[in-house]
């Protein structure tokens, strides 16, 4: 299929899947301009604030079940696979390199460009001061009580950690529990199935939430524009540019360099081979929905089914470097916006938490934004504390989601190609189009 045709399909898919959110955004801007936040429009703003806050609460509602079930089945499925010993170590290594590079690029750019500074004027100084004190106290505590912090990560009562919303102790407990589960053999199957059901249900709920994204984005945008004028887009343009620049560095520099250094896979041939899948990723903003096409594109080019069927599905759930980039930039943006001092320790913590949070994301639209709550929570904040900033992030969220999903899918393809090359699981004649792929596998 020609590149023009592919672009048209991607565009149509983008409009079909995301049109309602963009309409919400446009209506929000219109209402914000027509009804500026003044005393005459108090009623309108009471309703808009209610809708916007309800949307944020609903998002928070699914974080715990999503994170717990994703980790549980992610680890349990890895343990199940016999291919783990053959491809597992390399897969882990490449995914780690890619994700660590992603958060390093993202935090470096965010500290350099300082996107949050241009939006700082939108924040009430009383709220900023409160949050600054809050984080400074949390950081000072962490600094002087390193052992206690480590101790607190081990939950004495996992249920209390769940009900207090302490995400890192919960993740530690669930990971240990999942590793134990996959070592216990067949008896664990029913429980793993329950978590698979919970995961499927949370995916469904998230899908529904994305339908609510239209009124949610409408209300949040109207409130922002109504309070601060259309200038808010100027205020967040630096944030969007930072995310896009980090995604571009990952796509155009990091992936090609990795392919060059660790394999003999030609970058352009690989990217051209999967371009159809990348277009669909852009249009749907969902790596899971794109997965069947990603597998087909790779297999068509002679990458063995053994590698594709093991690495790509795991990648579509665990490897989300585009999402990690978004989350790192978004949290640093919020911190800068609220005047929170970004010490090297805090930046490291944010980057590390973005790796954890992104790997708990489901490959569907919007989960990257949802699990930002996990990072904020771990550094002593929450989306409610930062309602104005969080609302701003939502104005351009869907477009950024479409772009980061392309990165998520590409990195899965790159790791698959690297492993296939290293393990002699790629037929270069098929890859270069000189023989039919069936003969290759
Ligand atoms: N939409 C992304 C994906 O499917 C996940 C996210 O960052 O929201 O890969």
Architecture per CATH, domain 3-20+90-173+229-439, reads as Orthogonal Bundle (1.10)
Place of tokens 């009471």: 46
283 lines ligand 1 (CB under 6 A): no
> In the chain, what is the greatest distance between 2 CA atoms, to the nearest angstrom?
73
User: Are 8 and 1 a contacting pair, CB within 8 Å?
Assistant: no
367 lines ligand 1 (CB under 6 A): yes
For residue 370, the ligand 1 atom closest to its alpha carbon is: 8
For residue 362, the ligand 1 atom closest to its alpha carbon is: 5
DSSP 431: H
CA-closest residue to ligand 1 atom 6: 368
User: Are 268 and 259 a contacting pair, CB within 8 Å?
Assistant: no
If we measure between CA atoms, which residue out of 76, 83, 81, 71 comes closest to residue 189? 76
- pTM for the model: 0.79
Question: In Å, what is the CA distance from 84 to each residue of 45, 90, 127, 305, 317?
Answer: 54, 10, 49, 15, 16
Residue 249: what pLDDT? 97
Residue 325: what pLDDT? 97
Pocket test for ligand 1, best of 63, 67, 291, 368 (most atoms within 8 A of CB): 368
Q: What is the pLDDT of residues 46-75, one digit of tens each?
A: 898 888 888 877 877 877 887 788 778 777
User: Are 342 and 332 a contacting pair, CB within 8 Å?
Assistant: yes
425 lines ligand 1 (CB under 6 A): no
Give the residues across from 426 on adjacent strands.
303
If we measure between CA atoms, which residue out of 204, 187, 189 comes closest to residue 72? 189
Most confident of 23-27, 143-147, 314-318: 23-27
412 lines ligand 1 (CB under 6 A): no
Q: What is the pLDDT of residues 130-145, one digit of tens each?
A: 777 777 776 666 666 6
C-beta neighbour count of 237 within 10 angstroms: 14
For residue 363, the ligand 1 atom closest to its alpha carbon is: 4
User: Are 331 and 112 a contacting pair, CB within 8 Å?
Assistant: no
Measured between alpha carbons, how far is 215 from 52 in angstroms, rounded to an integer?
A: 8
413 lines ligand 1 (CB under 6 A): no
Measured between alpha carbons, how far is 158 from 171 in angstroms, rounded to an integer?
A: 10
Domain ranges of the chain: 3-20+90-173+229-439
Pocket test for ligand 1, best of 365, 374, 396, 409 (most atoms within 8 A of CB): 365
CB neighbour list of residue 204: distance below 8 Å, 6 or more residues apart: none
């Amino acid at each position: 299929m020609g590149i023009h045709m592919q672009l048209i399909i991607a565009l149509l898919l983008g409009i079909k899947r995301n049109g309602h959110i963009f309409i919400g955004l446009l209506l929000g801007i219109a209402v914000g301009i027509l009804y500026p936040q003044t005393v005459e429009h108090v009623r309108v703003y009471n309703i808009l604030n209610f809708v916007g806050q309800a949307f944020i609460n609903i998002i928070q509602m699914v974080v715990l079940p999503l994170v717990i079930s994703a980790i549980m089945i992610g680890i349990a499925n890895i343990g199940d696979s016999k291919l783990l010993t053959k491809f597992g170590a390399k897969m882990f290594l490449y995914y780690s390199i890619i994700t660590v590079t992603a958060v390093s690029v993202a935090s470096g750019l965010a500290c350099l460009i300082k996107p949050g500074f241009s939006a700082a004027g939108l924040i009430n100084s009383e709220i900023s001061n409160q949050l600054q004190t809050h984080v400074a106290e949390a950081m000072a505590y962490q600094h002087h009580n390193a052992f206690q912090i480590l101790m607190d990560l081990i939950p004495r009562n996992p249920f209390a950690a769940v009900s207090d919303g302490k995400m890192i102790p919960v993740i530690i407990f669930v990971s240990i529990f999942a590793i134990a589960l996959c070592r216990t053999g067949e008896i664990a199957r029913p429980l793993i199935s329950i978590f698979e059901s919970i995961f499927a249900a949370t995916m469904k709920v998230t899908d529904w939430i994305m339908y609510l994204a239209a009124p949610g984005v409408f209300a949040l945008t109207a409130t922002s524009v109504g309070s601060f004028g259309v200038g808010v887009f100027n205020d967040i343009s630096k944030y969007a540019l930072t995310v896009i620049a980090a995604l571009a560095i990952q796509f155009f520099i990091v992936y090609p360099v990795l392919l060059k250094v660790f394999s003999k896979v030609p970058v352009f041939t690989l990217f051209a081979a999967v371009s159809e899948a990348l277009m669909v990723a852009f249009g749907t903003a969902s790596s899971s929905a794109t997965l069947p096409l990603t597998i087909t594109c790779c297999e068509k080019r002679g990458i063995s089914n053994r590698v594709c069927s093991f690495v790509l599905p795991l990648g579509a759930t665990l490897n989300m470097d585009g999402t990690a980039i978004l989350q790192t930039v978004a949290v640093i943006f919020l911190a800068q916006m609220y005047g929170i001092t970004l010490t090297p320790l805090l930046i490291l913590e944010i980057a590390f938490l973005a790796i954890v949070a992104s790997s708990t994301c489901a490959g569907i639209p919007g989960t990257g934004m949802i699990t930002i709550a996990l990072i904020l929570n771990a550094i002593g904040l929450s989306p409610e504390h930062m309602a104005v900033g969080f609302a701003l992030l939502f104005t351009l969220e869907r477009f950024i989601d479409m772009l980061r999903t392309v990165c998520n899918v590409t990195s899965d393809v790159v790791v698959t190609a690297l492993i296939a090359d290293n393990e002699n699981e790629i037929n270069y004649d098929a890859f270069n189009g000189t023989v039919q792929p069936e003969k290759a596998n």
